[in-house]
Amino acid sequence: MRFLPTEIPEVLLIEPQVFGDSRGFFMETWHAAKFVSAGLDLGFVQDNHSKSVQGTLRGIHYQIEKPQGKLVRVISGEVFDVAVDLRKSSPTFGRWIGDILSAENKKMLWVPPGFGHGFYVLSPEAEFVYKCTELYAPEHERCIRWDDPELGIAWPLLALAPLLSAKDLAGISLAAAELYP
């Protein structure tokens, strides 16, 4: 398993070692000791799985209290995945990292607590799974607009308007958002 740094030091791109042959493949997606050796001593408490159609954009989501760290990956299809630093005291506040995660490339992204998260579905459909370090707490959930000009996320949109939930349509600007210290 390789833990690759990104432009934001706390966000890591993870490439698992894949063993494949004519029958298929095998890979580890979580190994506590390997993550600890990479500086990530994580206690996951919840796993989530979503399926979305092409053009769906989910995010930018975060929990202002009980912030969640997320280990994210795609098991079917392809998405453009984004992590946004929402820590006002951070030198990388307001910056984002984006990468393509797919069933084919098997990459994972570590999105630490204090970051917002979102993804856009590039394939006809995608199944997205992630492990969380905190339980979902809807009363603490917040949403920043996916197209906030202050963030300037370069989404690789396939159409003029992505498919959004009511929650994502109601997202607010970074300037108006409740943020981490």
Mean local confidence (pLDDT), 83-103: 98
Number of CB atoms found within 10 A of residue 153's CB: 20
Q: Which of 49, 62, 130, 180 is catalytic?
A: 130
180 belongs to a structural domain? no
- pLDDT band with cut points at 50, 70 and 90 for residue 157: very high
Q: Which H, E and C letters describe the chain, residue by residue?
A: CEEEECCCCCCEEEECCEEEECCEEEECCCCHHHHHHCCCCCCCCEEEEEEEECCEEEEEEEECCCCCCEEEEEEECEEEEEEEECECCCCCCCCEEEEEEECCCCCEEEECCCEEEEEEECCCEEEEEEEECCCCCHHHEEEECCCCCCCCCCCCCCCCCCECCHHHHCCECCCCCCCEC
pLDDT tens-digit readout, 97-128: 999 999 999 999 999 999 999 999 999 999 99
Closest by Cα among 164, 167, 166 to 53: 164
CATH of the domain at 99: 2.60.120.10
pLDDT value of position 143: 98
140 is catalytic: no
31 is catalytic: no
pLDDT tens-digit readout, 10-37: 999 999 999 999 999 999 999 999 999 9
Mean local confidence (pLDDT), 40-65: 98
pLDDT value of position 21: 95
Give residue for tokens 């098991």. 75
176 belongs to a structural domain? no
79 belongs to a structural domain? yes
91 belongs to a structural domain? yes
34 belongs to a structural domain? yes
175 belongs to a structural domain? no
Which residue range forms the structural domain that includes residue 143? Answer: 2-169
18 belongs to a structural domain? yes
Count Cα atoms within 13 angstroms, Cβ side, for 169: 6
How many domains, in total, are found in the chain?
1
Q: Which of 61, 62, 117, 120 is catalytic?
A: 61
pLDDT value of position 160: 83
pLDDT value of position 159: 84
